[in-house]
Every structure is written in C-alpha cells, then in structure tokens.
Amino acid sequence: FDGFYYSFQGNCTYVLVEEINGNFGIYIDNYYCSPHETVSCPRTLIIKYETHEVHIRTVRQIPMTVQVLVNGVLVALPFNKHGMNIYVSGLNHVVEIPFLRTNVTYNGMAFTIKMPYHIFSNNTQGQC
C-alpha cells in the first residue's frame, strides 16, 4: 500500500490488511515450498467480508490449479453473492467487493490488493 516490497517468507498466516473499524480483512497462508530451503509459497489467500469468508487455495503448482471456497463450500465461477463478485480473468482469480471499491487478484503465486484511500485511510492494520 505504501509502494514498498515486503517479503512474506514464513511458514505461517500473515495479516495483510484488516479494517480497524469494520468487517473486512485479507490474509495469506504460506508454507515452505521445499524442505531444504526457507522459501515459502502461498497456500491460500483468505478474504473476510462481513460474515463471509473466501478461500482462494493453490491446490497444485504445476500445472497451476486453484480452487475457490466461499464459507467452506467449493464454488463455480463466476460467483456473485454476499456483496462479492468472484471470477477468473486470464491467469488471475479476482474478488471484487463493489461496496468497498476493493479488488483482490490471486494467481496461485502472487496477489494484488487495490483499496480506495478515502475508505481505508487511518482504518487499517496488519502488514499494510
């Protein structure tokens, strides 16, 4: 969010961003890709919005296979429910939350998060 690059190389779940006053958060669950190195790969990108939870899970690296679960249930895409639009665009799985004007993409290895400053200014915590 500040234009800097951060390394998330732990074998754990990171809080990428949480609303301080609200019901929104994004998390990345990493695991060590190789037992011989301390380099981690993303396992699941987790998006919590209100009372709902989206898991975009990397099932296999080669070939890249990704699954999307909403509230613990595997869903087909496109998915439009609970104030979220989830779809595939090229290599990316995209979660849009129109009310928050937020866009999250995940391709199994990398993610992007776009959030408007006027909604989230001074109202976030986590790695942001």
Tens digits of residue pLDDT in 29-69: 998 888 787 788 889 999 999 999 999 999 988 898 999 99
> What is the tens place of the pLDDT at every residue in 4-36?
777 777 888 999 999 999 899 999 999 888 878
10 vs 97: CA distance, rounded Å: 28
Write down the pLDDT at residue 38.
78
In the chain, the DSSP E strands lie at 13-19, 24-32, 40-49, 52-60, 65-70, 73-74, 79-81, 84-89, 92-97, 102-106, 111-114, 124-125
Q: Residue 67: is it exposed, middle or buried by C-beta count within 10 angstroms (0-12/13-18/19+)?
A: middle
- Residues ≥6 apart with Cβ < 8 Å to 113: 1, 16, 17, 26, 102, 103, 104
Q: Tell me which residue has tokens 């665009």.
A: 89
Length of the chain, in residues: 128
- Residues ≥6 apart with Cβ < 8 Å to 126: 14, 15, 16, 17, 18, 25
pTM over 0.85: yes
Amino acid in position 90? G
15 vs 27: CA distance, rounded Å: 5
